Amino acid sequence: MNPLDDPRIGERIINLLAALVLVLQIGMVAQRWLVTNIRIFGTQSFLLALIAGVIAYFNNAPHIYVAALLTLIVKAIILPILLERLVLKVAIRQEIEPLVNVPLSILISALLTLLGYLVAESFYRPEESGTASALGHNTLAVAISLFLIGFFMIVNRRKAITQVLALLSLENGLFLAAIALTYGMPLVVELGVFFDLLIGTMTLGILVYRIRETFDSMDVSKLRKLRG
């Protein structure tokens, strides 16, 4: 038997990649430079594409290859390029002080990660481990953690563009959960999701630029001035 066809090898690769994805998510919480955050998101999306590719290889699932390719092109390449250009256009390079300081934010992220593992524990089936059909199932904890930390970033950050990144990283958690538990959605649905994600991000980018033009800032708290 070819060692590369052993599902246990695939499981180790996926576990390593998932751990790196989680580390990058926590790194995004600690990082205040916008371009660095964008590149962290791009790297995280690249790793998710690799996870999807490994699952597709061991399960001979062509539609997951398509999902991996779309993740690579749209979320690891196109969106980071668009967002970096937006940062250069609005000429704001660094996040202002978040609502919760960085050390406490990291602690909260660690607690949310622990919560993610506790929630995922009830879905764990050790008797299924080591088989191709179970590849990625134990990454559900990482997927839940990505979702929770992404939601926390939306609440905690005040720059519009970092809130966009938080929303995208939250979506990465949903993507990982879909790949890990159901091996992806139907191809037509996946294409629709990626198209909506691209259009949505472009729309949010326009809104970010308009906020910058109107308030000379990307601090979303200034939107309170629009109240009648």
User: pLDDT tens digit string along 173-220?
Assistant: 888 888 777 665 555 455 555 555 666 666 666 566 555 555 555 555
Rg (CA), the chain: 18
Per the structure, the count of domains in the chain is 1
Q: Residue 52 belongs to what domain range?
A: 3-226
pLDDT at residue 130 in the model: 53
Q: Which two tokens stand for residue 44?
A: 């995280």
What's the rounded mean pLDDT across residues 155-184?
Answer: 78
The more confident residue out of 136 and 169 is 169
pLDDT at residue 211 in the model: 57
pLDDT at residue 191 in the model: 56
Q: Is the pTM of this model over 0.85?
A: no
User: pLDDT tens digit string along 88-120?
Assistant: 877 666 666 677 788 898 999 999 999 988 888
User: pLDDT tens digit string along 8-58?
Assistant: 787 888 889 999 999 999 998 888 788 888 899 999 999 999 998 888 888
> Which residue is associated with the tokens 């998932």?
18
The residues, ordered by sequence, that sit 6+ positions from 153 with a Cβ below 8 Å of its Cβ are: 28, 29, 162, 163, 165, 166, 169
